[in-house]
Structure 1
Amino acid sequence: MPISRRLFATGTLAAALPLSACSGGSPSGPTGGASTGTAGFPVTVPTAFGDVTVPAAPRRVVALGWGDAETALALGVQPVGASDWLAFGGEGVGPWATGLYDTAPEVIGTLEPSYEAVAALRPDLVLDVKSSGDRDRHDTLSAIAPTIGIPTGGEDYLTTPQQQVTAIAAALGRSELGQELLQRNDDAFAAAAAAHPGWEGATFTAASRTTRGWGAYVEGSERVGFAERLGFVQNPAIAALPVGESGFSVPISAEQLEVVDADVVVVFPIGVPAGDVTADPVFRAVPAVAAGRSLVLDRDVASAYALSSVLSTRWALERVVPLLEGLGDLP
C-alpha cells in the first residue's frame, strides 16, 4: 500500500478527530438483539484471498477494518476487539453507535495491529473487510481465526459500504438483515433526493484541508458518492485533475484553489481547526464560498461522512441534508 494512502486513510483523519461477541444487544439497538443459534452454518464468504468458510455462528468477533466494528454492531453482534480508526476513544465508535455495546471491546491497533493481542482474545472470526489488502497481514490473521478480508476485485481501503455489509452479514449468518439495512439507507437517500429536485445535476466539490494543504475527493470516494446519491454531480474541473497516489483524492495548490468552485463546496478539515479554513482569504475568494454556498463540516459530521458505515452514513444524512438546505436555492 502506498505510504501516502496509509497516511491519508488513517493518520490524517485520526488527527482531524485528533467479552461478549454475538451476545444480545440492547432491545433498543438496530437489530433488537442477536441470536446465538447456528442455523445456516457453515457459510462461505468470497474474498480477494479466496473463499473463507465460517464453520459456526461466531461468538467472539474481532473487527479490524475501517468501519467493520460498526457494521457488526448494526447487525446485532458486539465485537470483543476492534480498531478505533478515527480515535474516538472509549468504545472506539462515534455517537451514532453509542450504547450498542454491553461491554466495551479491547481496542486493537489500526495499520499495525498487535497480532498477539488479537490472538489473546481467542476470536472465532476476524473482520478485516475494509482494510489494506496486505497479504502478509491477512495470512497472519488467518492463522489465528477465519478472516474475512477485502472483497474479490477490491482495493485497499476502497471497499464499498455495500461490499462491507454484504460480506460481514454473510460471515455472521445475517445476510437478510444486511440487505435490509442497506435498503433502509437507499430509501432514505432516495427520499432526500426526491424532496430536493433542485440538487439534481448541481455540481459538487468535496474538498479537504489538511496540515499539508488542500485537496479534493474524486469519483469512487464515498464523500463524492454520498453527494451523488442526493442528485449532485462531481465538479468536472476536479474530475479532470490527475488522481494522486491515494486513489481517491487529488492534491490542489493554494494557487489553483479556485478549481474547487462548484454549485456547492463542502470542506473536510483534517488535522486543522475549521476556523483556519473559514478564515483563509484564498478560500473565501472562491466564488461559491463568497456566495454562501459552502459548508465546513464539524468533527462529528465529518467523521460520520468519512467513515461511511451503515450506521454513520444514515446519521450523517440526517445532519448534512439540513445543512445543504440552509444554503438556499442553487444556481
Structure 2
Amino acid sequence: MRLAPLLAAAALALSLAACGSSDDDSNDASGASGEGFPVSVKHTFGTTEIESEPQRVVAVAWSNQDTALALGVVPVAMPKVTYGDDDTDGLHPWVKDKIDELGGETPALFDETDGIDAAAVAKAEPDLILAVHSGLTKEEYETLSKIAPTVAYPDKAWGTPWRDAIELTGQALGKTDEADQLIGDLEQQISDAVAKRPEIQGKSAVMSWIDPSDLSKIGYYTAFDTRATFLNDLGLETPEFVEKASADTDQFFLEISAEKADELAGADIFVGYGDDAALKKVQADPLLGKVPAFERGSAALLEDNTPLAAAVSPSALSIPWMLDDYVTLLADAAAKVK
C-alpha cells in the first residue's frame, strides 16, 4: 500500500520573490464592508482582521478551495491538483462540478510542487488568502500576510478537522450561518450512509502506508490526521497503539520497523493506498504477514492516484462525492473481521 502524495505541500517553501501586494487598480476587492464585517478570525499564528467582505479569494495548500466553493464562493486562484486528477485538468471532479453548479469561471491554477508560489498568489490580487488546512510555517504565514489577510490552521499543521475548516472559512467569508448549515447537512449525510452498513460500527481502523518495495517498515497516520479522524466520523475506532503514539508527537505520519509488527495487532482494518497485488506481497512477508488484519485480508485498498484516494482526505465537497463508495469499501473489509 503506497503513500499517496496528498500532502506533498507539507514541504512548503515559499518563494520570497515578487510577493508584495499589487497596486494595480483592477483588483476587484470591494472597499465597502458587507454585512457582518469587519471580522476577526483566530488561528495558530494569531488573529486575522478582515475589514470587508472578500471579493477575490485565493486558496493555497490542500482543499481550502473546496470549503470556499461549498459556501458559494469561487476562488480567483488555487493550486493545480497533481494527485487524484483523473482527466488532467488540474481540478478534482467535485471541484469542477461545484464551479459549474455555481456558474463560475475556473480559477487561475498555480503550481505548488515546490511549495506555495507567493508570486502567483500575489498576481491574483487577493483580498483574502485561505490556508485553513495547511502546514504553513510562521515565516510563510508572514510572507502571505504581506499580500493579503491570511487565515492559517487553528492548531496542528495538516490537522484541521473538516468541521473546523468550514467554521473558520465561514467566519472569514462572513458566512457563519451557511457554515453551520453545511456542517449539519454533511453530518446527516454521514449518518445516513453509515446506517446502511452497520458492520463497520465498533471496528478499529488505521490509515496506513506500506511500500511493497520496502517491507522493513510500516507507516501510519496519527490520530489527528484528517483521514484518520474521518474514520472516527464513520463509526470506526482508533487503535490503542495509534492513540498512544499520537499523544507524544505533533507529526501526522509515523513509521515503525517490521520487527515491531506485533504492535499492530489491535487494528481490525488497515486502510491504505494500493491494490490486491500489494496486499498479497504484504501477506507473504514473514513479519507483516502475521498481523491479523493482513492475514485475514481485512484491508480497505484505495487505488493510488485516483479521485477516491484523494477524496478520503475529507473536505466539504469531497465528503458527499466519495461517501457511499468509501463506506462500501470499509464495510467490505469489516465483514472479514471475525
Number of equivalences = 301
Aligned equivalent of 1:286? 291
Q: Could you tell me how far apart the structure 2 residues matched to 1:71 and 1:111 are?
A: 23
Alignment of 1:178-327 (within 5 A): 178-210=179-211, 213-241=217-245, 247-262=251-266, 264-269=268-273, 275-280=277-282, 281-282=284-285, 283-299=288-304, 300-306=307-313, 308-327=314-333
Q: Could you tell me how far apart the structure 1 residues matched to 2:139 and 2:218 are?
A: 33
Look up the equivalent residue of 1:124 and give its one-letter code. Answer: D
Look up the equivalent residue of 1:326 and give its one-letter code. Answer: D
Deviation at 1:107, TM superposition (A): 1.6
Paired residues of 1:138 and 1:149 also in contact (CA < 8 A):
yes
Q: Could you tell me how far apart the structure 1 residues matched to 2:309 and 2:55 are?
A: 32
Deviation at 1:166, TM superposition (A): 1.0
Paired residues of 1:131 and 1:157 also in contact (CA < 8 A):
yes
Q: Unpaired runs of 5+ in structure 1?
A: 1-6, 14-20, 24-35
Structure with the greater relative contact order (CA < 8 A, sep ≥ 6): 1 or 2?
A: 2
Distance 1:227 1:106, change over 3 A: closer
Alignment of 1:69-218 (within 5 A): 69-84=65-80, 86-88=82-84, 92-101=90-99, 102-109=105-112, 112-151=115-154, 154-210=155-211, 213-218=217-222
Normalised TM-score (structure 2): 0.77
Deviation at 1:305, TM superposition (A): 0.9
Deviation at 1:251, TM superposition (A): 0.7
Paired residues of 2:76 and 2:108 also in contact (CA < 8 A):
yes
Q: Could you tell me how far apart the structure 2 residues matched to 1:242 and 1:310 are?
A: 25
Aligned equivalent of 1:26? none
Query: What is the alpha-carbon root mean square deviation over aligned residues?
Result: 3.2
Any idea what SS the aligned residue of 2:165 has?
Answer: helix
Paired residues of 2:127 and 2:149 also in contact (CA < 8 A):
yes
> Percent identity between the aligned chains?
27
Paired residues of 1:41 and 1:56 also in contact (CA < 8 A):
yes
Q: Unpaired runs of 5+ in structure 2?
A: 12-26, 100-104
Paired residues of 1:37 and 1:57 also in contact (CA < 8 A):
yes
Distance 1:263 1:48, change over 3 A: closer
Q: Could you tell me how far apart the structure 2 residues matched to 1:157 and 1:9 are?
A: 8
Distance 1:8 1:247, change over 3 A: farther
Q: Could you tell me how far apart the structure 1 residues matched to 2:336 and 2:161 are?
A: 31
Deviation at 1:244, TM superposition (A): 8.2
Moved more, 292-301 or 174-183: 292-301
Q: Could you tell me how far apart the structure 2 residues matched to 1:12 and 1:268 are?
A: 19
Normalised TM-score (structure 1): 0.78
